[in-house]
Amino acid sequence: MSAIATGSRNEGNSTVFSFEQQTTIPSYLIALVVGNLASAKISDRCAVWSEPENIDACAWEFAEMETILQTAEDVISPYLWGRYDLLVLPPSFPYGGMENPCLTFVTPTLLAGDRSLTDVIAHEIAHSWSGNLVTAKNWEHFWLNEGWTTFFERKIVSRLSGEDARQLSCVIGEADLLESIDFYGKDNPLTALVPKLDGVDPDDAYSTVPYDKGAHLLYYLEHLLGGPAVFEPYMRSYIQTYQGRSIGTEDWKSHLFSYFTSNDSAKVELLNSIEWDKWLTAPGMPPVSNYYDERPQKACLALADRWLNAASDCAYDQFLPTDIEEFSTMQRVIFLSRLADSAPLQSSMLAAIDSTYKLTGYRNCEVRFGWLALALKSNYMDVSSAVVNMLSTQGRMKYTRPLYRLLHACPDGRSLAEQTFLRMRDFYHPICARMVEKDLGL
C-alpha cells in the first residue's frame, strides 16, 4: 500500500494487514496492491516488489534505487516518507510510473537489462517532493506536479551521470513537447501550461505539455535568475513552504516573488519583465527558447547526417555496428529522431540501418520504439510484425498510442492497426483502451 506496513494478524481464514501513513496525502495517491508478490531488499529503506518469476531481474535493474534517493535528498531536502519501495506491475500498466507514496508503481518496459532507463526512477523519486508533498490543487495546475518533477529529475540525473545527460534529456523533452503540440494543434487551449478544463476529461488533456513545458519554464527561470546557486535555495524554500498542501499556480507565483523580494530584491525586476500570460495561459510552444549544450548531441547528429547523405548513392557499407556502441540511450533516441525529421526515408536505407544496428529486436524499449516510429513514418512495413509484437506485449501509452496512430496512417497498415487493437483491447488498461479507440476513430 502507499503507506508503511505495521504488521498483520490472522482472523479466521483471513489475514489482516495493517498500514500507517503519517504524512498528509491527496486521495488520488491512495493505492492498494493485491497479488502473488515477492520482494528483494535493496537497502534498509528500499525494496523491489514483483511477481516471483521476475524478482531477480527487477532487483538487478533497480539496484541503484538507494543511490538515486540519496542524490535526490542532496538536490532537494531529506526524504520524509520513511520507506521507498518499487513495485513492477504487469505489462498492461499504462504509464511509465505512478508515484504512490512509499510504493512507486512502474512498468516492466523499464527492464532494459542494462539499467539504462532508471531516469524514470529518478522522476518517480522526485515526486516524493513535487506532487506528493506539494500537490497541484486540481488538474489544471498539473504542471506543478509534473513540470517540477521533470526539472528535479534532470537535476538528479545531472548529479548521477553528468551535466551532458541533463542536457540530452532537455533536448529530448523539447522534441517531445513539440510533437505533443503538433498533435493537439499549436492553438489548442489544452497546450497551455495552465489549461481550462471545464467540461474536459483530464485524460483527454494528458500529454507531455505539463511535464516539458513546465520544466522548460523552470529551466528558463533558473538561468534568468542567476543559475543553480541562486535557484536551488529558492526551490527548497518552495517545497518547505507548501509541503502538506495542495496549491495552484498563483500560489507558486506568489511565493516566487515573495522569496526573491526577501532574499534578493534585484531579481524582482527580472521577474516583472516576464510575459507571464504567454508562459502560463497561452497555447503552443513556450514564448522563449532555452539554450541547451549541443556538444553531447554532436556525434549522434553527425551519424544521422552521414546516413542521410549516403542515401543518394546507397553507400551504406561505410557504417558499422560499433557506430552506436558508445552512445547512451538518449543519444540513440536523438539519432533516430534526427532521421525521423527527414522521413519518409528510402526502404533500402531503413533496411541497411536495421541490418547494421539490429534495432527491430532491440531490448531497450525507448530505442526500439524510436526505430519502429521512424520506420512507420516511412511506410516501411517490414517492421509490421515487430510493431504488432510491441503492441501485444505492453500497454504503456507512451509507446502504444503513437504506434497505433502511425500504423493506422500507413496505407498498408490501417486494417492491421484496427485488427490488432480489437484483439488486444481487453489486455490494455481501460484508460489506454479508450484513448487508442479514440485515436483510431473506432
* CA gap 91, 429 in Å, rounded: 10
pLDDT in tens, 57-67: 999 999 999 99
Cell numbers standing for residue 40: 528483494
- Mean pLDDT estimate for the chain: 96
Based on the residue annotation, tell me whether 326 is a catalytic residue of this protein.
no
In which band, very low, low, confident or very high, does the pLDDT at 119 lie, cut at 50, 70 and 90? Answer: confident
Q: Does residue 259 register a pLDDT over 90?
A: yes
> What pLDDT, on the 0 to 100 scale, is given for residue 418?
97
Helices 414-424 and 397-409, interaxial angle, to 10°? 140
pLDDT of 118 reads 84
CB 371 within 8 A of CB 360: yes
pLDDT in tens, 365-414: 999 999 999 999 999 999 999 999 999 999 999 999 999 999 999 999 99
User: What is the reported pLDDT for 256?
Assistant: 98
pLDDT band for position 252 (cuts 50, 70, 90) = very high
With cut-offs at 50, 70 and 90, classify the pLDDT of residue 415. very high
Query: Do you know the residue count of the chain?
Result: 442
Angle, alpha carbons 98-328-390 (nearest 5°): 55
**What is the model's pLDDT at position 222?**
98
Determine whether 250 is an active site residue: no
pLDDT band at 203 (very low <50, low <70, confident <90, very high): confident
Percent of the chain with pLDDT over 70: 100
Whether residue 344 is preceded by a cis peptide bond, meaning omega within 30 degrees of 0, is yes
Band of residue 182 on the pLDDT scale cut at 50, 70, 90: very high
Among the listed residues 211, 238, 380, 404, the single catalytic one is 211
Per-residue cell: 371: 526505430
- Point out the catalytic residue in the list 99, 124, 140, 366: 124
Q: What percent of the chain has pLDDT over 90?
A: 96
Query: Cell 541547451 maps to which residue?
Result: 292
Query: Where would I find the beta strands (DSSP E) of 187-307?
Result: 245-247
Alpha helices (H) along 264-412:
266-272, 276-280, 298-310, 329-340, 347-357, 365-377, 384-393, 397-409
